[in-house]
Structure 1
Amino acid sequence: MFNNRHLATVVLAIADDSVPTEFTTRQLAGFTRLPDSVIRPILLRLLGADLLIPTHSSGGTRGAKYYRAAVETPAWTSLEALCKALKGSIEAADPPGILRK
């Protein structure tokens, strides 16, 4: 989906209550168990689409960058709903999880 098979996983992680409202690439990588190198391009794509809002950085230019989802926008709400529907479709089609490994 949208040229990255992990986009739905990342969007659902951002929407999960276990992830802080303001998060870093590393925090999402830990939560999703995906490498930073997979998470970062997705965050940049969401940022470019105004679906993420940069909040602050720590430690200068090379420090961690924090983002938050633009949850108040119809675009984010629609993307989150689409990702939830996709997840439900995959789980319904693949109950033992063979396709999700």
Structure 2
Amino acid sequence: MLLLAFGPWLQHWYGLPAALLQLIAMVSLGYAAYSLSLARLSRRPAWALVLLVVANALWALLCMRWALLYGPAASLLGVLHLLVEALFVGTLALLEWRWRAHQRAV
């Protein structure tokens, strides 16, 4: 929500397009809604967990791609945001994959 609210202001600090910051904010909200819906289930379908892992892995790759693509024009803060998000979401994908059997049975 903060990224949506402060996106135009952060655009100048990050040196990234406003549309990209809005996309990151919207995807983060979508991820939060989807993962919360899974967390509330007593039994999680395997396909839903695989979808979460695949989405996180793809998002991590996109963030790394954007860091490379916008790196020359973006500020260090903007590139770091993209790289930290890629690392964080990629780690989530790895952990969710490793613990998928446990998450499914909880």
Is the TM value for this pair above 0.5?
Answer: no
TM-score range, shorter chain: under 0.3
Higher helix share: 2
Q: Which has the larger radius of gyration?
A: 2
TM-score by length of structure 1 reads 0.26
TM-score by length of structure 2 reads 0.26
Work out which structure has the larger RCO, using CA pairs closer than 8 Å and 6 or more positions apart in sequence.
Answer: 2
